[in-house]
DNA sequence: GGGTCAATAT
DNA sequence: CATATTGACC
């Protein structure tokens, strides 16, 4: 148990994908042209006049619908008292800026961030980051920086952190000892209590023991180790995601070992995880080859698992 | 400004 | 349904 403490830390390095490895995937997966081609744009919501300084070229701007204003699609039958929430269907009222600025702007340029899918791997990075920051330093911004997953926003992390904290709390209450270790077991056996809905994601990554024990001065002093990841601060305009896991729902919960498994050989000499990273070639479409075990295959076509929603899953880096 | 929580939207 | 988004408070 205590041994694992020092142990899991060593493993962390090995598991960490190098920035180089991330980059190829994180580069511009969705070019403006692609975005246009795929009709990726903001259908009904134009939150802010999002200027992307990174994009120097102006899109062809074929025929942009002026779209005067989207009607309040949701009448909200039960709410007699009009909620002061001007949530999504608003901005028509006082959108001075939006009216003048955004209306003229092409919606296509305003790329809406696709829904982030928290894959176990991504979550693992998240947990690792939190673990090494310590609970107290584990705030969205820092976590986000440590993860250095481009495309990840503070909001993404904050939202996920919220859920994660709830999960931890629940685990603390219901698990004694074996619960934390259960992280090792991982997806296999999870606590019978608590909703499977939220759990199965979190259960897939090993939760560092200290997370479950709030009052534990002992495990506080970890290393000031700063992963290289923290250095790169990239324009977070493009999602690092490879396309969706639209893989058949049947094998969705199946997380098989990744092909690009770069775990250092327990044999002794591990290559530097940060060096000699063979670029993970992401074969985009093309060959209709059936992957025997398509853990995370990029599948743009069927990416729409949620109807019209575009779902992107972040890089499948790291494996256990 | 940034974090957390809660509610709500999609 | 999971996640994003938003608002409110600290």
How much is the pLDDT for A60?
39
**Contacts of A17 by beta carbon, 8 Å cutoff, 6+ apart:** A262, A273, A277, A315, A317, A318
Q: Which chain B positions come under 7 Å from a protein C-beta? A: 2-10
Q: Is the pTM of this model over 0.85?
A: no
Q: Closest nucleotide to A43's CA, by C1' atom? A: B10
Helices in A70-225 by DSSP H: which ranges?
Answer: 96-97, 103-104, 120-133, 140-147, 154-174, 178-185, 196-202, 209-212
Helices (H) and strands (E) in chain A, counts: 11, 3
Euclidean distance between CA atoms A277 and A182, whole angstroms: 32
Strand B within 7 A of A169 CB: no
**Higher pLDDT, residue A251 or A137:** A137
How many percent of chain A have pLDDT more than 90?
Answer: 0
A129 has a pLDDT exceeding 80: yes
Q: Reply yes or no on whether the pLDDT at A162 is more than 60.
A: yes
A133 CB less than 7 Å from any atom of strand B: no
Which one is predicted more confidently, A36 or A79? A36
Q: Lowest mean pLDDT: which of A30-39, A174-183, A270-279, A297-306?
A: A270-279
How long is the CA A55 to C1' B4 vector, in angstroms? Answer: 34
Strand-strand pairing, A242-243 and A115-117: unpaired
pLDDT of residue A186: 41
pLDDT at A211: 60
Residue A120, pLDDT > 60, answer yes
Tokens of A237: 């305009």
Task: Give the CA-to-C1' distance from A102 to B7 in angstroms.
Answer: 28
Kindly list the structural domains of chain A, giving each domain's residue range(s) and its CATH number in brackets, ordered by start. 120-172 (1.10.10.60)
Six-digit token string for A45: 């919501």
Range 28-67, chain A: CB under 7 Å to any strand B atom: 44-45
DSSP helix/strand/coil, A115: strand
**Beta-carbon contacts of residue A309 (< 8 Å; ≥ 6 apart):** A114, A115
In this predicted structure, the answer to whether residue A214 has a pLDDT above a threshold of 70 is: no
Query: Which of A282, A270, A284 lies closest to A317 in space, CA to CA?
Result: A282
Interatomic CA distance for residues A16 and A274, integer angstroms: 8
Spatial separation of the C-alpha atoms in residues A276 and A316, rounded to whole Å: 18
Phi, psi of A42 (to 5 degrees): -95, 110
- The helix (run of H) or strand (run of E) holding residue A6 is helix A2-15
pLDDT in tens, A251-293: 333 333 333 333 333 333 333 333 333 333 334 443 344 434 4
Residue A173 banded pLDDT, cuts 50, 70, 90: low
Among residues A16, A24, A22, A20, the alpha carbon closest in space to that of A273 is found at A16
For residue A138, pLDDT over 80 is answered with yes
Question: Which protein residues have their Cβ less than 7 angstroms from some atom of strand C?
Answer: A 45, 47, 84-88, 112-113, 115-118, 153, 155-156, 158-160, 163, 197-198, 201, 306
Kindly report, residue by residue over A41-73, the tens digit of the pLDDT: 433 333 333 333 333 333 333 333 333 333 433
* Cα A86–Cα A92–Cα A93 angle in degrees, nearest 5: 70
Contact A238, A291 (CB under 8 A): no
CB A208 under 7 Å to nucleic chain B:
no
Chain C, protein-covered positions (CB within 7 A): 1-8
Question: Tell me, in Å, how far CA of A241 is from C1' of C4?
Answer: 16
| Residue with nearest Cα to nucleotide C7 C1' | A85
Strands, sheet with A242-243, edge to edge from the N-terminal-most edge strand: A115-117, A311-313, A242-243
| Count of residues in chain A | 320
For the CA of A224 and the C1' of B9, the distance in angstroms is 40
A277: tokens are 């990273």
Query: Is the Cβ–Cβ distance between A299 and A248 less than 8 Å?
Result: no
CA Rg value for chain A: 22
Question: Nucleotide B6: nearest residue by CA–C1'?
Answer: A162
Question: Straight-line distance from CA A99 to C1' B5, in Å?
Answer: 32
Name the strand (E) or helix (H) holding A312.
Answer: strand A311-313
């Amino acid at each position: 148990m205590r041994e694992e403490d020092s142990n899991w830390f060593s493993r962390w390095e090995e598991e960490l994908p190098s920035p180089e490895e991330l980059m190829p995937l994180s580069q511009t997966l969705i070019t403006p042209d692609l975005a246009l081609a795929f009709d990726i744009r903001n259908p009904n919501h134009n939150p802010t006049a999002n200027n992307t300084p990174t994009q120097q070229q102006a899109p062809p701007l074929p025929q942009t619908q002026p779209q005067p204003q989207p009607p309040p699609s949701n009448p909200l039958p039960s709410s007699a008292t009009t909620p002061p929430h001007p949530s999504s269907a608003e901005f028509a009222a006082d959108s001075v800026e939006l009216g003048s600025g955004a209306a003229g702007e092409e919606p296509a340029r305003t790329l809406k961030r696709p829904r982030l899918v928290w894959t176990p791997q991504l979550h693992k990075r998240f947990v690792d980051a939190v673990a090494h920051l310590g609970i107290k330093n584990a705030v969205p911004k820092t976590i986000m920086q440590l993860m250095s997953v481009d495309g990840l926003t503070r909001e993404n992390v904050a939202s996920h952190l919220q859920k994660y904290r709830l999960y931890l709390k629940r685990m603390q209450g219901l698990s004694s000892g074996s619960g934390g270790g259960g992280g090792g077991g991982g997806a296999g056996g999870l606590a019978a209590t608590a909703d499977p809905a939220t759990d199965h994601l979190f259960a897939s990554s090993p939760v560092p023991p200290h997370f479950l024990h709030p009052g534990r001065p002992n495990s506080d002093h970890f290393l000031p180790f700063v992963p290289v990841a923290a250095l790169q601060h990239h324009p977070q305009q493009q999602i690092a995601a490879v396309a969706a896991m639209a893989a058949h729902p049947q094998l969705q919960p199946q997380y098989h070992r990744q092909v690009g498994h770069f775990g250092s050989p327990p044999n002794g000499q591990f290559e530097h995880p940060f060096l000699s990273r063979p670029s993970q070639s992401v074969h985009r479409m093309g060959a209709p080859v059936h992957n025997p075990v398509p853990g995370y295959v990029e599948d743009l076509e069927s990416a729409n698992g949620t109807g019209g929603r575009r779902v992107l899953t972040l890089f499948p880096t790291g494996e256990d």
